[in-house]
Amino acid sequence: MSLSLDAPLTLALGDKAAKPLERAFGMVTVGDLVSHYPRRYADPGELTPIVDLPPGEMVTIVAQIVSSSVRVMRNRSGAMVEVTISDGIGQVNLTFFAKNKQQADWRKGQLEPGRRGIFSGKVGFYRETMQLAHPDYELFDDELEARKRADIRSTRPIPIYPATATVASMTLQKHMERVLPQLTDVPDPLPPEVRAAEGLLDARTALVQVHRPETRNDIDPAVRTLRMHEAIVLQTALLQQRAFVRMLSATRRPATPGGLLKRFDAALPYELTADQRTVGDQVATDLVGDWPMNRLVQGEVGSGKTLVALRAMLQVAESGGQSALIAPTEVLAGQHLRSITKMLGPELSPLVMPTLLTGQMSAPARRKAALRVASGQALIVVGTHALLGEKTTFADLGLVVVDEQHRFGVEQREALRAKGSSPHALVLTATPIPRTVAMTVFGDLDTSVIRTMPAGRAGIETFVAPLAEHPGWFARVFERAAEEVAQGRQVFVVCAAIDTAAKTAEVGDQPPAPEGAAGPRWGVVQLDEALATHPRIAGLRRAVLHGKMPADEKDAVMQAFARGEIDVLIATTVIEVGVDVPNASTMIILDADRFGVSQLHQLRGRVGRGGVPGLCLLVTEAEEGTLARDRVEAVAATLDGFALAEVDLDLRGEGDVLGSTQSGIRSSLKLLRVVKDSGLIARARSLAEDILDADPLLDRHAGLSAAIARRVSAEDRAALAKN
């Protein structure tokens, strides 16, 4: 039988084998199967140490059978085959259950002592003895035909695949060996001249060598080829989406002499930074372009991204267009509205009528706000997910601003953009993104960066309070907080949970916990109780803030803190972004090792925002030399968010960074690694640009077009279109 990559797996393997693959991995076609690449390779000549097998994990080992026996069950029907295998150092038991003794004897006859094989299963324990229950296996001299291949199998690397409890690595290996010989010519996504210039294999050879390498020397060329295939397909798809957006017509939103934008700039009490001017000019140009703006603005914490967005909103408002700013939390949405209203001042605010629309507003207030939005009175609308509701309509939505885009799914952003006719889009993030990640994840957006900080910022000093070495420093941390309050300043204290007794965590990006830790030590509830008896804190004005509180209560606490009516605010990460209290001087983060690098940087950015010097104290019990401690030390070492973004990638791994950023094709990279393969990604981007410049519809690049069609599903296309 001849099989193409698009052939159904049911045709290639039959229903019985294909259905588990679809349930476990979503595989439907032969192409889905053969793009499930090995995660590593085992060498039959090198026995894996059994003593190092991780409990609870799926493992694949090469070993020799030491003994096998059959035991008839006493309290139930059937029999059990017990086998012991060894790698020459350690031993592990295998157990197989059979319906009757006849089946058990057949299994025992297969698993004769002295035979070697590859065994795959989940590591467990029975009566404190390590075992693999009913593992998959393949014996190197299983049958006569296998004996003919014994010499080959003794030297050929064995592919180990990402597996599940229902589909073992060995099962996948057998499927590959069945399907690969039947593959017809595999369309190559790279033109022959590019393949030759890059020194790459043809597509079919690369697939065969990655799944069935004769020697380890076959693996690297195959992986390098398939990585380039992945990169060129991804970059071409992103560039195609960029071109698609540029085919849409957009309503031009020019600024006019003496208009809202000019009046706003003239009234500003300070000069824009050089970066704010540069990015502002880029946005202003986009708003009068032939196609909708689709721009990502990265900016350091406190660099003034909101000001850039507001200037864009005013430019849109001059033609009667509305702007919608969607924020991830009620607290942040309210903060944005107050900040925007304050920046506009009493003269401009009535002209654009900034309006807040959130889900937890009272029904009368929400109806009034919705009417302003629907009638076009409100030219600037700030809200949360309530903006996405069917009942929320706009008169003329001209600009969508997404704040902290990583908090929103693709579908949510599209739901808002769909309320206008090809509106412009401005995406803001205070989480600096390394260039390689930006190229891979946001390759269809134009990107701007704001690095310079506004003048007059007093800056921030950051220190680690390592309680593992200095437990007495915990008391000193809060003495330091009391000293700041005595000088008329205010203090944030952030905890990784609301109530540790109730296990109610509210850590935003769920970073790795410190080695061996069961959970955060401090919750908001516990810390507030402890500080109520602290000799220097007990008499201060304290308040708590967390995501489980009603919206009006959260807003009231934040406004009271902003007015200086609260000295110490004990909160979760609900205050992570957008909260602007210039008099707040100190940020204390307890269990700091439970937060990610970027999140610690975000939290630190809540202080030092005015003329008051900022102090950030990172309190941790993580021991020196651990990964958890390294994260905390890295944040204390620099205020450069872009440098920290690179550190974050190194410490946390790109899977976390990508996985929390997007759904769809860009977070499902298989072999491509955005850090290690940065040069290859840049090369693929350049090749994709050249190919599309010469052949926009890919009429002369059928292999690339087919690869994109297979790799980028209709759902992925929709996801790309929604950015």
Task: Catalogue all structural domains in the chain, each as residue range(s) with its CATH number.
Answer: 40-160 (2.40.50.140), 260-450 (3.40.50.300), 460-638 (3.40.50.300)
Rounded to 5 degrees, φ, ψ at 539 are -85, -5
Q: Name which of 41, 10, 40, 58 is nearest 175 in CA terms.
A: 10
The pLDDT of residue 647 is 76
Of the CA atoms within 13 Å of residue 421, those in its CB half-sphere come to 7
Q: Which residues contact 442 (CB under 8 A, 6 or more apart)?
A: 296, 433, 723
Span 344-377, pLDDT tens digits? 999 999 999 999 999 888 889 999 999 999 999 9
Burial of 380 (0-12, 13-18, 19+ CB in 10 A): buried
Tokens 């001849």 appear where?
2
**Does pLDDT of 32 surpass 60?**
yes
Q: State yes or no: pLDDT of 123 exceeds 90.
A: no
In 646-657, which positions are buried (b, 16+ CB within 10 angstroms) versus exposed (e)? bbbbebbebebb
DSSP string, 69-89: EEEE-SSSSSEEEEEEEE-SS
Strand-pair partners of 375:
none
pLDDT value of position 368: 94
Mean pLDDT of all residues in 582-604: 90
Of residues 437 and 196, more confidence is placed in 196
Q: Distance (Å, rounded) from C-alpha 659 to C-alpha 154?
A: 39
Side chain identity at residue 283, one-letter code: V
CB atoms within 10 A of CB 686: 11
Comparing CA positions, the residue from 674, 714, 670 lying closest to residue 35 is 670
Q: What is the pLDDT of residue 710?
A: 82
- DSSP H or E stretch at residue 678: helix 678-694
Chain mean pLDDT for the chain: 84
pLDDT beyond 90 at 189: yes
pLDDT tens, residue by residue, 628-670: 898 899 999 988 877 787 777 666 555 443 333 343 444 457 8
Q: What pLDDT, on the 0 to 100 scale, is given for residue 346?
A: 93
Q: Tens digits of per-residue pLDDT, 83-117?
A: 999 988 888 999 988 888 888 898 898 898 988 88
pLDDT in tens, 290-339: 899 989 898 877 778 889 999 999 999 999 999 999 988 887 888 889 88
Question: Residue 313: what pLDDT?
Answer: 97
- Residue 139, classed as helix, strand or coil, is strand
Question: Distance between CA atoms of 453 and 459, rounded to whole angstroms?
Answer: 10
pLDDT band with cut points at 50, 70 and 90 for residue 513: very low
Q: DSSP string spanning 320-376? A: T-EEEEE-SSHHHHHHHHHHHHHHHHHHHHHHH--EEE-TTS-HHHHHHHHHHHHHT
Q: Give, in order, the Cα–Cα distances in Å from 390 to each of 377, 394, 399, 635.
A: 19, 11, 18, 42
Ranges 33-42, 479-488, 583-592: which has the least confidence: 33-42
Residue 181: which H helix or E strand, with range? none
- Higher per-residue pLDDT: 181 or 56: 181
Per-residue model confidence (pLDDT) at position 458: 65
In whole angstroms, what is the distance from residue 225 CA to residue 10 CA?
A: 28
The one-letter code for the residue type at 261 is L
From the CB of residue 521, how many other CB atoms can be counted at a distance below 10 Å?
18
Q: What pLDDT is attached to residue 713?
A: 55
pTM over 0.75: no
- Any idea which of 39-48, 619-628, 647-656 has the lowest mean pLDDT? 647-656
Q: How far apart are CA 379 and CA 397, in angstroms?
A: 9
Q: Which two tokens stand for residue 152?
A: 């080959």
Q: What does the alpha-carbon distance between residue 397 and residue 543 come to, in Å, rounded to a whole number?
A: 39
Cα-to-chain-centroid distance, residue 718: 19
Place of tokens 């979503």: 26
Parallel, antiparallel, or unpaired: how do β-strands 116-126 and 158-160 relate? unpaired
pLDDT at 473 over 90: yes
Q: Which pLDDT score, from 0 to 100, does residue 457 have?
A: 67
Task: Identify the burial level of 249 via C-beta atoms within 10 angstroms of its C-beta, where 0-12 means exposed, 13-18 middle and 19 or more buried.
Answer: exposed
| CA–CA distance, 325 with 338 (Å, rounded to integer) | 13
pLDDT digits (tens, 9 = 90+) for 49-83: 788 788 877 777 878 899 999 988 877 778 889 99
Q: Strands 79-86, 129-133: parallel, antiparallel or unpaired by DSSP?
A: unpaired
Q: Is 324 left (phi over 0), alpha (psi -120 to 50) or beta?
A: beta
The dihedral sign for the CA sequence 302, 303, 305, 308: positive
Query: Would the pLDDT of 675 be above 50?
Result: yes
Cα 104 to Cα 77: distance, rounded to the nearest angstrom: 12
Structure tokens, 428: 């803001």
Percent of the chain with pLDDT over 90: 43
Of 66-70, 85-89, 583-587, 710-714, the least confident:
710-714
High-pLDDT (> 70) share of the chain, %: 85
Query: Which residue has better confidence, 551 or 297?
Result: 297
